Amino acid sequence: MLKGISIAIDGPAAAGKSTIAKKIAQKLNYTYIDTGAMYRALTYKAICNDINIKSDHDLSKLLQETDIILKPVNGSQAVWIDGVDRSEEIRSQKVTANVSMVATHANVREMMVGKQRELANGTGVVMDGRDIGTAVLPNAELKIFMTASVEERAVRRFNENESRGIHIPLDQLKREIEKRDQSDSERTVSPLKMADDAVLVDTTSLSVNEVVDKVILLAEERVRP
């Protein structure tokens, strides 16, 4: 087993972050933390409770009252909200369309970052999101900025949806991805950007296994420089 280091994986939507992060965590026997799932969980609860997602105050209050638990299951991660498994619900189109607005708020982000650091408080962690290398784990031994062309990312989401019996036109998915990337990159608090010391990994023409091998090689270099 590779000595426990922190691996931060950031990048735009559908670049392959969570797929790769999960596989790396499994191979290295590390803890996997999907931070996007936490923003999705809060968005889901806000929609269910009819909370104004433009209000940082209302959302922070809601977050304080919400129990979000990430549970490892079979190499993946289940998301429990207030004692109920909501892993499917947090991936709905409605949550996806609203999550970037929820993620713009300063107080919400501060609370999320606190929770994420607590979860990472052990050895051997792979965390994926948008601000992991820049804000959550600035001292991570390995930072990856994972990307792929927007066309390729839209095709990946399309295929993923089809395999789950969800039919959304490719053009629509591409527009949604571009919109979310723009909001995530242009927000004032912790925008999506590559950390100065991150390694850029363009996965456009790489298979999942090729990317996994590449990141593991980089992790091994960090442990045995």
Rounded to an integer, what distance in angstroms lies between the CA atom of residue 110 and that of residue 112? 5
Q: Which stretch binds ligand CDP (CB under 6 A): 52-60, 63-71, 77-85, 200-208?
A: 200-208
User: Which of 214, 206, 103, 84 has its CA nearest to residue 156?
Assistant: 206
DSSP string, 176-201: HHHHHHHHHHH-SSS-S---TTPEEE
**Selected binder of ligand CDP within 8, 14, 42, 150 (CB under 6 A):** 14
**Selected binder of ligand CDP within 184, 195, 198, 219 (CB under 6 A):** 184
**Selected binder of ligand CDP within 48, 166, 168, 208 (CB under 6 A):** 208
Near ligand CDP in 26-65, by CB under 6 A: 35-36, 39-40
User: Which of 73, 56, 72 has its CA nearest to residue 64?
Assistant: 56
Binding flag, residue 8, ligand CDP (CB under 6 A): no
Total of residues contacting ligand CDP (CB under 6 A): 28
Neighbour tally for 24: CB within 10 Å:
24
Rounded to an integer, what distance in angstroms lies between the CA atom of residue 210 and that of residue 148? 14
CB of 131 to ligand CDP, least distance (A): 5
x-or-dash string of contact with ligand CDP, 72-111, rule CB under 6 A: ---------------------------xx--x--------
Per the annotation, does 19 bind a ligand?
yes
x-or-dash string of contact with ligand CDP, 137-176, rule CB under 6 A: -------------------x---x----------------
H/E run at residue 84: strand 84-85
Per the annotation, does 174 bind a ligand?
no
Per the annotation, does 83 bind a ligand?
no
The residues, any chain, with a CB within 8 Å of residue 117's CB and separated by 6 or more, are 136, 137
CB of 41 to ligand CDP, least distance (A): 10
For residue 3, the Cα-to-chain-centroid distance in whole angstroms is 24
Rounded to an integer, what distance in angstroms lies between the CA atom of residue 11 and that of residue 144? 8
Beta bridge partners of 201: 146
SS3 5: coil
Per the annotation, does 13 bind a ligand?
yes
Per the annotation, does 195 bind a ligand?
no
Q: List residues binding ligand CDP (CB under 6 A).
A: 11, 13-19, 35-36, 39-40, 99-100, 103, 129-132, 156, 160, 180, 184, 203, 206-208, 211
Q: Could you tell me which residues are annotated as the binding site?
A: 11-19
